Amino acid sequence: MPGPAARAARDLRWPDLVWSHFSRPRFGQFDERVAAAATAGYAGIGLFVDEYARLRDEEGRSASEIRAVLDDAGVVLADIEAARGWWATGGEAHETSQRVERLAYEIADAFGARYLQTIGPYECDLDQAIEGFAALCDRAAEHGLLVGIEWLPYTNIATAADAATIVTAADRPNGGYCVDIWHHTRGANDIEMIRALDPSRIFAVQMDDGPLQRVPLDEYKADCLANRVPPGAGEFDCVGFIQLMIEMGVDAPLSVEVCSTERWDAPIDYAALVAAEGMRDVLARVSATA
């Protein structure tokens, strides 16, 4: 029996919940992922471009067959992960970028996805990076996509200020930011950098939690992919972070991204539910203090 009719992905707003793709292993269990998201009350899911390619090429699924799984559950495909190499004008990085973009735009056209995540590093001068990001935004706009830079402390887009340098200079209406509480807290941890961002350009807010204790930078990536916990279950100031987003007037949906080897090994329904319940509990605590 079909689930409740889903809203369009591009209509999602704060505080709609999106279950980030990397809250589970990169590949497999697509139908189970969608069903778990629906049961846990998410409005949408994110999708890794290479998982879409696997569904299409290895499982032989058409876009309409994939769409039927989503529609039956009443869940939309909201976020696409992740563009890289957008700064390159040639070579392997450019080829990778072109492949990822082709997949992303196929997804956007087939499912009406709202948002494309981008990450660094860029391996060029800053002017070329700005031009590359602007061009990416222009191409993505043809497919109705917002584009957000997620700063990562182990790259040369390490902070909100680094991302703002590119986004501001590129000056594209669909170019903006992904604000991830992990990379804020375990990175610069500078609230004023966040406050300096144009809130209308914060297109994604990724929520998770974890320990405050930092690791060496060369261990950062592995740590952030293995040790997150649901919002409210760690040491981050999730309540304060959400209060800040509200004060700034951020209107993006909330992407719950609990990358965790423990959650990847857990039953999928449980992983979806505890992350959603954690996020809803944080929102309730914010409301109680308002």
Q: What is the pLDDT along the chain (290 residues), one digit of tens a residue?
A: 445 556 799 999 999 999 999 999 999 999 999 999 999 999 999 999 999 999 999 999 999 999 999 999 999 999 999 999 999 999 999 999 999 999 999 999 999 999 999 999 999 999 999 999 999 999 999 999 999 999 999 999 999 999 999 999 999 999 999 999 999 999 999 999 999 999 999 999 999 999 999 999 999 999 999 999 999 999 999 999 999 999 999 999 999 999 999 989 999 999 999 999 999 999 999 999 97
Report the C-alpha gap between 134 and 127 in whole angstroms.
Answer: 11
Return the CATH superfamily for domain 9-289: Divalent-metal-dependent TIM barrel enzymes (3.20.20.150)
Report the C-alpha gap between 118 and 150 in whole angstroms.
Answer: 6
Q: What is the pLDDT of residues 118-149, one digit of tens each?
A: 999 999 999 999 999 999 999 999 999 999 99
What is the DSSP code (8-state) at residue 260?
A: B
Q: What is the pLDDT of residues 228-255, one digit of tens each?
A: 999 999 999 999 999 999 999 999 999 9
**Cα dihedral sign, 271-242-196-11:** positive
Report the C-alpha gap between 197 and 179 in whole angstroms.
Answer: 10
